[in-house]
Protein backbone atom coordinates (compact mmCIF):
# COMPACT_ATOMS: atom_id res chain seq x y z
CA UNK A 1 0.00 0.00 0.00
CA UNK A 2 1.39 3.38 -1.02
CA UNK A 3 1.39 6.37 1.33
CA UNK A 4 -0.29 9.02 -0.78
CA UNK A 5 -2.16 11.41 1.43
CA UNK A 6 -0.43 14.62 0.43
CA UNK A 7 -2.46 14.06 -2.71
CA UNK A 8 -5.80 12.72 -1.56
CA UNK A 9 -8.82 12.77 -3.83
CA UNK A 10 -10.37 16.15 -4.47
CA UNK A 11 -13.89 14.98 -3.68
CA UNK A 12 -15.31 15.67 -0.24
CA UNK A 13 -18.60 15.37 1.54
CA UNK A 14 -19.53 18.81 2.83
CA UNK A 15 -22.33 20.15 4.95
CA UNK A 16 -23.73 23.60 4.12
CA UNK A 17 -21.50 26.46 5.20
CA UNK A 18 -24.15 27.84 7.57
CA UNK A 19 -23.97 24.57 9.53
CA UNK A 20 -20.21 24.96 9.91
CA UNK A 21 -20.69 28.43 11.35
CA UNK A 22 -22.84 26.95 14.13
CA UNK A 23 -19.72 25.33 15.58
CA UNK A 24 -17.43 27.96 17.06
CA UNK A 25 -13.67 27.29 17.30
CA UNK A 26 -14.06 26.60 21.01
CA UNK A 27 -15.80 24.07 23.22
CA UNK A 28 -17.78 25.09 26.33
CA UNK A 29 -17.59 22.53 29.12
CA UNK A 30 -19.02 23.27 32.59
CA UNK A 31 -18.89 26.98 31.94
CA UNK A 32 -15.25 26.97 30.84
CA UNK A 33 -14.31 28.10 27.36
CA UNK A 34 -11.60 25.83 26.01
CA UNK A 35 -10.21 27.38 22.81
CA UNK A 36 -9.19 25.34 19.84
CA UNK A 37 -6.79 26.57 17.20
CA UNK A 38 -8.15 27.71 13.88
CA UNK A 39 -6.22 26.53 10.85
CA UNK A 40 -5.68 28.65 7.77
CA UNK A 41 -7.70 26.07 5.86
CA UNK A 42 -11.15 27.72 5.64
CA UNK A 43 -10.97 28.57 9.37
CA UNK A 44 -11.35 24.91 10.30
CA UNK A 45 -11.13 24.24 14.08
CA UNK A 46 -8.22 22.04 15.08
CA UNK A 47 -5.91 21.26 17.97
CA UNK A 48 -6.60 21.74 21.64
CA UNK A 49 -7.29 18.94 24.12
CA UNK A 50 -8.37 15.92 22.11
CA UNK A 51 -11.53 15.09 24.16
CA UNK A 52 -12.79 18.65 23.78
CA UNK A 53 -12.04 18.56 20.07
CA UNK A 54 -14.21 15.44 19.80
CA UNK A 55 -16.96 17.27 21.69
CA UNK A 56 -16.80 19.94 18.99
CA UNK A 57 -17.26 17.29 16.31
CA UNK A 58 -20.28 15.95 18.17
CA UNK A 59 -21.77 19.42 18.36
CA UNK A 60 -21.29 19.91 14.64
CA UNK A 61 -22.87 16.54 13.90
CA UNK A 62 -25.91 17.37 16.02
CA UNK A 63 -26.24 20.80 14.41
CA UNK A 64 -26.23 19.19 10.98
CA UNK A 65 -29.13 16.89 11.80
CA UNK A 66 -27.69 13.64 13.13
CA UNK A 67 -29.55 12.29 16.15
CA UNK A 68 -27.82 12.22 19.51
CA UNK A 69 -27.84 8.44 20.15
CA UNK A 70 -26.14 7.82 16.78
CA UNK A 71 -23.59 10.57 17.41
CA UNK A 72 -22.74 9.27 20.87
CA UNK A 73 -22.40 5.70 19.65
CA UNK A 74 -20.29 6.75 16.67
CA UNK A 75 -17.75 8.74 18.70
CA UNK A 76 -17.85 6.55 21.83
CA UNK A 77 -14.52 4.79 21.36
CA UNK A 78 -12.54 7.31 19.30
CA UNK A 79 -8.94 7.88 20.44
CA UNK A 80 -5.96 9.83 19.17
CA UNK A 81 -3.64 7.70 17.02
CA UNK A 82 -0.01 8.87 17.23
CA UNK A 83 1.06 6.36 14.56
CA UNK A 84 -1.18 8.13 12.06
CA UNK A 85 0.69 11.38 12.72
CA UNK A 86 4.04 9.62 12.47
CA UNK A 87 3.13 8.18 9.08
CA UNK A 88 1.75 11.48 7.87
CA UNK A 89 5.12 13.10 8.54
CA UNK A 90 7.18 10.34 6.90
CA UNK A 91 6.11 10.08 3.28
CA UNK A 92 9.66 9.90 1.99
CA UNK A 93 8.80 7.47 -0.81
CA UNK A 94 7.52 10.37 -2.91
CA UNK A 95 11.00 11.90 -2.92
CA UNK A 96 12.21 9.15 -5.23
CA UNK A 97 12.52 9.83 -8.94
CA UNK A 98 10.16 8.23 -11.46
CA UNK A 99 12.64 5.51 -12.43
CA UNK A 100 13.50 4.73 -8.80
CA UNK A 101 9.90 4.68 -7.65
CA UNK A 102 8.43 2.85 -10.63
CA UNK A 103 11.00 0.06 -10.55
CA UNK A 104 10.44 -0.31 -6.83
CA UNK A 105 6.66 -0.76 -7.09
CA UNK A 106 6.36 -2.45 -10.50
CA UNK A 107 7.82 -5.63 -9.08
CA UNK A 108 7.63 -8.92 -10.95
CA UNK A 109 5.36 -10.44 -8.32
CA UNK A 110 2.81 -7.66 -8.96
CA UNK A 111 2.87 -8.39 -12.67
CA UNK A 112 2.26 -12.09 -11.96
CA UNK A 113 -0.45 -11.27 -9.42
CA UNK A 114 -2.06 -8.91 -11.90
CA UNK A 115 -2.31 -11.55 -14.61
CA UNK A 116 -3.91 -13.99 -12.17
CA UNK A 117 -6.29 -11.39 -10.76
CA UNK A 118 -7.40 -10.39 -14.24
CA UNK A 119 -8.05 -14.00 -15.18
CA UNK A 120 -9.96 -14.72 -11.96
CA UNK A 121 -12.17 -11.63 -12.32
CA UNK A 122 -12.41 -11.27 -16.07
CA UNK A 123 -16.19 -10.81 -16.02
CA UNK A 124 -15.90 -7.85 -13.65
CA UNK A 125 -13.35 -6.11 -15.86
CA UNK A 126 -15.55 -6.75 -18.88
CA UNK A 127 -18.48 -5.14 -17.12
CA UNK A 128 -16.50 -2.03 -16.12
CA UNK A 129 -15.28 -1.62 -19.69
CA UNK A 130 -18.82 -2.01 -21.03
CA UNK A 131 -20.35 0.50 -18.61
CA UNK A 132 -17.57 3.06 -18.14
CA UNK A 133 -15.02 2.43 -20.90
CA UNK A 134 -12.17 2.13 -18.37
CA UNK A 135 -9.62 -0.43 -19.52
CA UNK A 136 -8.60 -3.31 -17.30
CA UNK A 137 -4.93 -2.33 -17.22
CA UNK A 138 -5.88 0.99 -15.64
CA UNK A 139 -7.89 -0.72 -12.91
CA UNK A 140 -5.22 -3.37 -12.34
CA UNK A 141 -2.58 -0.70 -11.84
CA UNK A 142 -4.60 1.10 -9.19
CA UNK A 143 -5.32 -2.18 -7.42
CA UNK A 144 -1.66 -3.17 -7.54
CA UNK A 145 -0.25 0.08 -6.18
CA UNK A 146 -2.95 0.77 -3.63
CA UNK A 147 -3.41 -2.62 -1.95
CA UNK A 148 -1.57 -5.38 -3.84
CA UNK A 149 -4.88 -6.47 -5.36
CA UNK A 150 -6.75 -6.23 -2.07
CA UNK A 151 -4.23 -8.15 0.03
CA UNK A 152 -2.87 -5.15 1.98
CA UNK A 153 -5.70 -2.77 2.85
CA UNK A 154 -4.30 -1.33 6.08
CA UNK A 155 -4.92 -2.01 9.75
CA UNK A 156 -5.56 1.45 11.19
CA UNK A 157 -8.95 2.20 12.72
CA UNK A 158 -10.47 4.50 10.13
CA UNK A 159 -12.36 6.78 12.51
CA UNK A 160 -9.36 7.22 14.80
CA UNK A 161 -7.20 8.17 11.81
CA UNK A 162 -9.69 10.68 10.41
CA UNK A 163 -10.29 12.37 13.76
CA UNK A 164 -6.56 12.42 14.54
CA UNK A 165 -5.72 14.06 11.20
CA UNK A 166 -8.57 16.54 11.63
CA UNK A 167 -7.34 17.41 15.12
CA UNK A 168 -3.84 17.95 13.73
CA UNK A 169 -3.57 21.49 12.37
CA UNK A 170 -1.55 20.65 9.27
CA UNK A 171 -4.48 19.82 6.95
CA UNK A 172 -7.67 19.63 9.00
CA UNK A 173 -9.91 20.88 6.20
CA UNK A 174 -8.92 17.89 4.08
CA UNK A 175 -9.97 15.27 6.61
CA UNK A 176 -12.78 16.80 8.68
CA UNK A 177 -15.55 16.33 6.05
CA UNK A 178 -14.76 12.63 5.87
CA UNK A 179 -15.61 12.19 9.56
CA UNK A 180 -19.18 13.26 8.89
CA UNK A 181 -19.31 11.19 5.73
CA UNK A 182 -18.30 8.18 7.83
CA UNK A 183 -21.05 9.11 10.28
CA UNK A 184 -23.56 9.09 7.42
CA UNK A 185 -22.27 5.68 6.31
CA UNK A 186 -22.66 4.52 9.91
CA UNK A 187 -26.25 5.75 9.93
CA UNK A 188 -26.86 3.69 6.79
CA UNK A 189 -25.29 0.60 8.32
CA UNK A 190 -22.18 0.64 6.10
CA UNK A 191 -19.52 1.74 8.61
CA UNK A 192 -18.46 0.28 11.95
CA UNK A 193 -16.64 2.94 13.99
CA UNK A 194 -14.95 0.28 16.12
CA UNK A 195 -14.24 -2.28 13.42
CA UNK A 196 -13.66 -0.49 10.13
CA UNK A 197 -9.93 -0.43 9.36
CA UNK A 198 -7.91 0.74 6.41
CA UNK A 199 -5.00 2.99 5.52
CA UNK A 200 -3.57 5.33 8.12
CA UNK A 201 -5.10 8.31 6.32
CA UNK A 202 -8.66 7.02 6.44
CA UNK A 203 -8.89 5.32 3.05
CA UNK A 204 -10.89 2.11 2.90
CA UNK A 205 -10.97 -0.97 0.71
CA UNK A 206 -9.25 -2.48 -2.31
CA UNK A 207 -8.98 0.86 -4.11
CA UNK A 208 -8.48 2.96 -0.96
CA UNK A 209 -11.32 5.47 -1.02
CA UNK A 210 -12.24 8.02 1.61
CA UNK A 211 -15.72 8.00 3.14
CA UNK A 212 -16.98 11.05 1.22
CA UNK A 213 -16.07 9.39 -2.07
CA UNK A 214 -17.72 6.14 -1.03
CA UNK A 215 -20.90 8.04 -0.26
CA UNK A 216 -20.89 9.80 -3.60
CA UNK A 217 -19.54 7.18 -5.97
CA UNK A 218 -19.87 3.80 -4.27
CA UNK A 219 -21.42 1.13 -6.50
CA UNK A 220 -23.19 -2.05 -5.46
CA UNK A 221 -21.62 -4.04 -8.27
CA UNK A 222 -22.57 -7.49 -6.99
CA UNK A 223 -26.19 -6.58 -6.25
CA UNK A 224 -26.24 -7.59 -2.59
CA UNK A 225 -27.68 -4.26 -1.44
CA UNK A 226 -24.41 -2.98 0.09
CA UNK A 227 -21.32 -1.14 -1.07
CA UNK A 228 -18.43 -3.22 0.24
CA UNK A 229 -15.11 -2.01 -1.09
CA UNK A 230 -13.11 -4.21 1.27
CA UNK A 231 -14.17 -7.67 0.13
CA UNK A 232 -16.34 -7.34 -2.99
CA UNK A 233 -14.30 -7.15 -6.18
CA UNK A 234 -17.44 -6.24 -8.09
CA UNK A 235 -18.16 -3.29 -5.81
CA UNK A 236 -14.54 -2.09 -5.76
CA UNK A 237 -13.97 -2.18 -9.52
CA UNK A 238 -17.35 -0.79 -10.49
CA UNK A 239 -16.78 2.05 -8.03
CA UNK A 240 -13.31 2.75 -9.42
CA UNK A 241 -14.75 2.76 -12.94
CA UNK A 242 -17.45 5.21 -11.93
CA UNK A 243 -14.96 7.56 -10.25
CA UNK A 244 -12.82 7.72 -13.38
CA UNK A 245 -15.93 8.12 -15.54
CA UNK A 246 -17.12 11.04 -13.39
CA UNK A 247 -13.68 12.63 -13.64
CA UNK A 248 -14.06 12.61 -17.42
CA UNK A 249 -12.28 9.46 -18.57
CA UNK A 250 -12.55 9.21 -22.37
CA UNK A 251 -13.93 5.70 -22.90
CA UNK A 252 -11.49 3.21 -24.39
CA UNK A 253 -8.95 5.91 -25.22
CA UNK A 254 -5.19 5.74 -24.46
CA UNK A 255 -3.54 7.57 -21.58
CA UNK A 256 0.26 7.17 -21.80
CA UNK A 257 2.22 5.89 -24.81
CA UNK A 258 6.01 5.54 -24.97
CA UNK A 259 7.72 7.46 -27.76
CA UNK A 260 11.19 8.05 -29.17
CA UNK A 261 12.06 11.74 -29.40
CA UNK A 262 14.67 13.29 -31.72
CA UNK A 263 17.57 15.16 -30.14
CA UNK A 264 16.64 18.14 -32.31
CA UNK A 265 13.30 18.64 -30.52
CA UNK A 266 12.61 22.03 -28.96
CA UNK A 267 12.61 20.89 -25.32
CA UNK A 268 10.75 23.98 -24.18
CA UNK A 269 7.71 22.59 -26.01
CA UNK A 270 7.68 19.48 -23.82
CA UNK A 271 5.81 19.06 -20.56
CA UNK A 272 2.16 18.92 -19.60
CA UNK A 273 1.71 22.63 -20.30
CA UNK A 274 2.31 22.17 -24.05
CA UNK A 275 0.10 20.22 -26.43
CA UNK A 276 0.07 19.30 -30.10
CA UNK A 277 -1.75 16.68 -32.09
CA UNK A 278 -0.03 13.34 -32.49
CA UNK A 279 0.34 14.17 -36.19
CA UNK A 280 2.09 17.47 -35.39
CA UNK A 281 4.49 15.77 -33.01
CA UNK A 282 5.27 13.14 -35.63
CA UNK A 283 6.00 15.87 -38.16
CA UNK A 284 8.67 17.02 -35.69
CA UNK A 285 10.25 13.57 -35.68
CA UNK A 286 8.59 11.98 -32.65
CA UNK A 287 7.90 8.26 -33.17
CA UNK A 288 5.98 5.61 -31.29
CA UNK A 289 8.27 3.07 -29.71
CA UNK A 290 6.01 0.14 -30.60
CA UNK A 291 3.84 -0.58 -33.62
CA UNK A 292 0.57 0.15 -31.83
CA UNK A 293 -1.99 2.26 -33.68
CA UNK A 294 -2.71 5.76 -32.37
CA UNK A 295 -5.21 8.23 -33.77
CA UNK A 296 -3.11 11.04 -35.25
CA UNK A 297 -5.78 13.63 -34.39
CA UNK A 298 -5.49 13.04 -30.63
CA UNK A 299 -3.95 15.80 -28.54
CA UNK A 300 -0.83 14.92 -26.56
CA UNK A 301 1.98 16.40 -24.52
CA UNK A 302 5.52 15.05 -24.43
CA UNK A 303 6.28 13.87 -20.92
CA UNK A 304 9.95 13.52 -19.93
CA UNK A 305 9.99 12.24 -16.32
CA UNK A 306 13.83 12.21 -16.30
CA UNK A 307 14.49 14.92 -18.82
CA UNK A 308 15.60 14.58 -22.43
CA UNK A 309 17.94 11.63 -21.75
CA UNK A 310 15.36 9.44 -20.00
CA UNK A 311 12.09 7.75 -20.97
CA UNK A 312 9.65 9.75 -23.11
CA UNK A 313 5.89 9.45 -23.43
CA UNK A 314 2.87 10.87 -25.16
CA UNK A 315 0.65 12.02 -22.29
CA UNK A 316 -2.89 12.08 -23.64
CA UNK A 317 -6.07 13.57 -22.19
CA UNK A 318 -6.83 10.57 -19.97
CA UNK A 319 -3.41 10.83 -18.36
CA UNK A 320 -4.36 14.10 -16.70
CA UNK A 321 -7.05 12.32 -14.71
CA UNK A 322 -4.37 10.41 -12.82
CA UNK A 323 -3.61 13.66 -11.00
CA UNK A 324 -7.19 13.73 -9.76
CA UNK A 325 -6.64 10.33 -8.15
CA UNK A 326 -3.25 11.31 -6.76
CA UNK A 327 -1.48 14.64 -7.26
CA UNK A 328 2.03 13.26 -6.87
CA UNK A 329 3.79 13.54 -10.25
CA UNK A 330 5.85 10.41 -9.61
CA UNK A 331 2.91 8.35 -8.38
CA UNK A 332 0.60 9.44 -11.21
CA UNK A 333 3.20 8.75 -13.89
CA UNK A 334 4.11 5.40 -12.37
CA UNK A 335 0.49 4.32 -12.07
CA UNK A 336 -0.19 5.36 -15.67
CA UNK A 337 2.84 3.54 -17.03
CA UNK A 338 2.18 0.44 -14.93
CA UNK A 339 -1.29 0.36 -16.51
CA UNK A 340 0.34 0.19 -19.95
CA UNK A 341 2.76 -2.50 -18.75
CA UNK A 342 -0.11 -4.59 -17.36
CA UNK A 343 -1.87 -4.09 -20.71
CA UNK A 344 0.99 -5.79 -22.57
CA UNK A 345 3.37 -2.95 -23.45
CA UNK A 346 7.12 -3.49 -22.90
CA UNK A 347 9.10 -1.96 -20.05
CA UNK A 348 10.13 1.60 -20.82
CA UNK A 349 13.61 2.44 -22.09
CA UNK A 350 15.70 3.86 -19.25
CA UNK A 351 17.84 6.02 -21.49
CA UNK A 352 20.88 7.64 -19.96
CA UNK A 353 19.44 10.27 -17.66
CA UNK A 354 21.81 11.76 -15.07
CA UNK A 355 21.07 10.84 -11.46
CA UNK A 356 18.55 12.98 -9.63
CA UNK A 357 19.69 15.71 -7.27
CA UNK A 358 19.87 14.88 -3.59
CA UNK A 359 16.98 15.95 -1.40
CA UNK A 360 18.88 18.85 0.16
CA UNK A 361 19.89 20.05 -3.31
CA UNK A 362 16.27 19.96 -4.48
CA UNK A 363 15.26 21.97 -1.41
CA UNK A 364 17.92 24.56 -2.20
CA UNK A 365 16.72 24.68 -5.79
CA UNK A 366 13.12 25.12 -4.67
CA UNK A 367 14.15 27.96 -2.36
CA UNK A 368 15.96 29.66 -5.23
CA UNK A 369 13.01 29.18 -7.56
CA UNK A 370 10.63 30.56 -4.97
CA UNK A 371 12.84 33.60 -4.41
CA UNK A 372 12.49 34.32 -8.13
CA UNK A 373 8.73 34.33 -7.92
CA UNK A 374 7.93 30.77 -8.96
CA UNK A 375 5.16 28.82 -7.25
CA UNK A 376 6.79 25.52 -6.33
CA UNK A 377 4.38 24.66 -3.54
CA UNK A 378 6.09 23.39 -0.39
CA UNK A 379 9.87 23.37 -0.17
CA UNK A 380 9.88 19.64 0.45
CA UNK A 381 12.64 18.09 -1.65
CA UNK A 382 10.05 16.57 -4.02
CA UNK A 383 10.22 17.34 -7.74
CA UNK A 384 6.52 17.72 -8.40
CA UNK A 385 4.71 19.30 -11.31
CA UNK A 386 5.08 22.89 -10.06
CA UNK A 387 8.79 22.49 -9.39
CA UNK A 388 9.26 21.00 -12.85
CA UNK A 389 7.41 23.92 -14.49
CA UNK A 390 9.57 26.41 -12.61
CA UNK A 391 12.75 24.53 -13.57
CA UNK A 392 11.73 24.59 -17.22
CA UNK A 393 11.04 28.33 -17.10
CA UNK A 394 14.47 29.02 -15.62
CA UNK A 395 16.13 26.71 -18.14
CA UNK A 396 14.55 28.77 -20.92
CA UNK A 397 15.68 32.01 -19.26
CA UNK A 398 19.29 30.77 -18.97
CA UNK A 399 19.46 29.24 -22.44
CA UNK A 400 19.67 25.65 -21.18
CA UNK A 401 17.90 22.65 -22.73
CA UNK A 402 14.44 23.19 -21.22
CA UNK A 403 13.47 19.61 -20.39
CA UNK A 404 12.30 20.37 -16.80
CA UNK A 405 14.92 18.05 -15.27
CA UNK A 406 16.72 19.69 -12.29
CA UNK A 407 20.50 19.67 -12.67
CA UNK A 408 23.51 20.85 -10.69
CA UNK A 409 24.23 23.28 -13.51
CA UNK A 410 20.92 25.02 -13.00
CA UNK A 411 21.28 24.93 -9.22
CA UNK A 412 24.69 26.62 -9.50
CA UNK A 413 23.27 29.27 -11.81
CA UNK A 414 20.47 30.09 -9.40
CA UNK A 415 22.58 29.98 -6.22
Q: What is the percent of the chain with per-residue pLDDT over 90, rounded to a whole number?
A: 81
pLDDT at 124: 97
113-154 tens-digit pLDDT: 999 999 999 999 999 999 999 999 999 999 999 999 999 999
17-56 tens-digit pLDDT: 333 333 333 333 333 333 445 444 557 899 999 999 999 9
* Predicted confidence band of residue 284 (pLDDT cuts 50, 70, 90): very high
pLDDT greater than 50 at residue 3: no
- The CA–CA distances, whole Å, from 414 to 97, 260, 308, 395 equal 22, 31, 21, 10
Whole-prediction pTM: 0.85
Average pLDDT over residues 191-201: 96
How far, rounded to the nearest angstrom, does the alpha carbon of residue 146 sit from its chain's CA centroid? 10
Average pLDDT over residues 260-286: 96
**Of 82, 69, 78, residue with least CA distance to 51:** 78
pLDDT at 150: 95
pLDDT at 415: 86
Mean pLDDT, all residues of the chain: 89
51-109 tens-digit pLDDT: 999 999 999 999 999 999 999 999 999 999 999 999 988 765 667 899 999 999 999 99
Amino acid sequence: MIDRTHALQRFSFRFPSDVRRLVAPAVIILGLVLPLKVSGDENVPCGGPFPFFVDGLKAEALASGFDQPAVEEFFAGVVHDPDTIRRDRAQGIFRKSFIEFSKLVMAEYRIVQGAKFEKDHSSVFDRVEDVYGVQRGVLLSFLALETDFGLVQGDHNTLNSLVTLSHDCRRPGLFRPHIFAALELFRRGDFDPAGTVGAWAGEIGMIQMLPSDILEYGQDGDGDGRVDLKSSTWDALMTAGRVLHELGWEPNQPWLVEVIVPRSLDWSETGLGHEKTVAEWMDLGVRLRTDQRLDSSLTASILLPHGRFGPAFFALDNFRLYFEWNRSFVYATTSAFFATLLSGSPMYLDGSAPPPLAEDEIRRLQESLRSRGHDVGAVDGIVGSRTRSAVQAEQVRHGLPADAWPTLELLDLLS
